[in-house]
Amino acid sequence: MRLPQETIRRKRDGGVLDADEIAAFVEGLTDGRVGEGQAAAFAMAVFLRGLSVPERVALTRAMTGSGTVLDWDLPGPVLDKHSTGGIGDAVSLVLAPMVAACGGYVPMISGRGLGHTGGTLDKLASIPGYDATPGLGRFREVVQRVGCAIIGQTDDLAPADRRLYAIRDVTGTVESLDLITASILAKKLAAGLDGLVMDVKQGSGAFMAGMAEARALAESIVAVAGGAGLRTVALVTDMDAPLASVAGNGIEVAYAIDYLTGRRREPRFHAVTLALGAEMLVAGGLVPAGQGLEKACAEASQRLDAALANGDGAETFARMVSALGGPSDLIDQPAKHLVSAPIVREVREPGTVESVATRAIGLAVIGLSGGRTRPQDGIDGRVGFSHLARPGNSDGLLGVVHAADESAADRAEAALRAAYRMGTAPLGRPAVLARIAG
């Protein structure tokens, strides 16, 4: 019998775990024989000592096999995108329906907020009636009928990962390259994908602040995915400032609707969305790759733009929301369903924005009760920030606070002011920094 404490001890002391030992620990995570303290100790041991690539593959495979692994019989490729997390990163909400409108099928299994970043699952929870944890039968039916469904991990899909994910969020082990890799890929392998595109964030609002760290994570994900049989491409994208000018769950859903309907399309958010979507269409063979990657991605971007222009992306999003229990008129009347915070306050500062401590903005959202400090905490979907300034902005508006009360608004205003450094306009850097493929 493999005792959990011996596995923890071996990794704590820098030992290499074999596949059977890892499988036994993951089985204990699944059936409850491994306690929360042991799971937290294991996560910290991995955080401090790291895992080899074979250990990462073994952990990924074990967590994938801890539940149901889906297979599909669909007339198009089964594709997905995943982000390592950032501030103002509502790309998943818009990209899944856009790719579906172009002929792909996107069974997107997303997570809750992790550390200082918002989670797609928490954003969707701000939509009244939206069932983010349907049974697998309903999940399959929605993907087949609509083309996409964004849900959270159900009891059937990678349950060991779901348990470890919640513990990492509150034990200071979120940034572990090894655990990020295994967690992401366990969910994606369980979804039965034909292709995956990763968005690895780099910058002050990312888990991997440095470029070397971000590359290492991207390379780890691509290598482990390949070892597990899933074709994967990773893009490293900029998170030195919020990707969209918003942060907060319901506020980001409203932003996504504005983007899909054409009411607001900010250039950097649009550039990252198209870059990721183009890789998905090429990976799925929906755009032929034989013409060369640059031409194929350009053609794929045009198709995605067309899905926005003709309304197909917005219509697919509306159908997905309705099929999963949300309001059928959310696209047409978002303000009717997405409840506003009672306190809305502008924050102004004269001068030019030189830089943003982006992580601090994410922490400020948590301080507004827009994120968790404990796994069991509830979330207020109304709160957050809108109209966030980017480096180079000089109109005096740092952002708008959305808070539950005046006291919370005061704290959020102070945090927002502290996050911005005023000075000279910085040199811009591209939205997409690197591409890594197996």
- How far the first Cα of the chain sits from its last, in Å, is 37
Residues 185, 315, single domain; the answer is yes
C-beta separation of 432 from 271 below 8 A: yes
Residues 190, 293, single domain; the answer is yes
The CA–CA distances, whole Å, from 187 to 21, 92, 159, 283, 338 equal 21, 15, 9, 19, 29
Reading the block at residue 431, the tokens are 């939205």
Residues 226, 320, single domain; the answer is yes
Burial of 226 (0-12, 13-18, 19+ CB in 10 A): middle
Residues 280, 343, single domain; the answer is no
Neighbouring residues of 293: CB distance < 8 A, sequence distance ≥ 6:
282
Is 437 inside any structural domain? no
Residue for token digits 């063979």?
Answer: 285
Chosen domain end from 311, 333, 355: 333
Residue for token digits 């306190």?
Answer: 343
Per-residue pLDDT of the chain (438 residues; tens, 9 = 90+): 689 999 999 999 999 999 999 999 999 999 999 999 999 999 999 999 999 999 999 999 999 999 999 999 999 999 999 998 889 999 999 999 999 999 999 999 886 655 566 678 889 999 999 999 899 999 999 999 999 999 987 788 889 998 998 888 788 888 888 998 998 899 899 999 999 999 999 998 887 889 999 999 899 999 999 988 899 999 999 999 999 999 999 999 999 999 999 999 999 999 999 999 999 999 999 999 888 999 999 999 999 999 999 999 999 999 999 999 999 999 999 999 999 999 999 999 999 999 999 999 999 999 898 776 666 667 888 999 999 999 999 999 999 999 999 999 999 999 999 999 999 989 888 999 999 997
Is 72 inside any structural domain? no
Chosen domain end from 300, 333, 366: 333
Is 378 inside any structural domain? yes
Residues 365, 278, single domain; the answer is no
Tell me how far apart the alpha carbons of residues 237 and 429 are, in angstroms, rounded to a whole number.
Answer: 10
Phi, psi of 83 (to 5 degrees): -110, 145
Residues 305, 284, single domain; the answer is yes
Residues 131, 243, single domain; the answer is yes
Residues designated as active site? 80-83, 120, 168, 183, 187-188
> What is Dmax (Cα atoms) for the chain?
65
The model's pTM: 0.89
Question: Number of folded domains in the chain?
Answer: 3
Nearest Cα to 155, choosing from 37, 78, 66, 24? 66
Residues 33, 85, single domain; the answer is no
Buried b (16+ CB within 10 A) or exposed e, 234-266: bbbbbbbbbbbbbbbbbbbbbbbbbbbbeeeeb
C-beta separation of 208 from 214 below 8 A: yes
Residues 345, 324, single domain; the answer is no
Tell me how far apart the alpha carbons of residues 436 and 438 are, in angstroms, rounded to a whole number.
Answer: 7
Distance of CA 286 to the CA centre of its chain: 24
C-beta separation of 11 from 49 below 8 A: yes
Q: Which domain holds residue 361?
A: 339-423
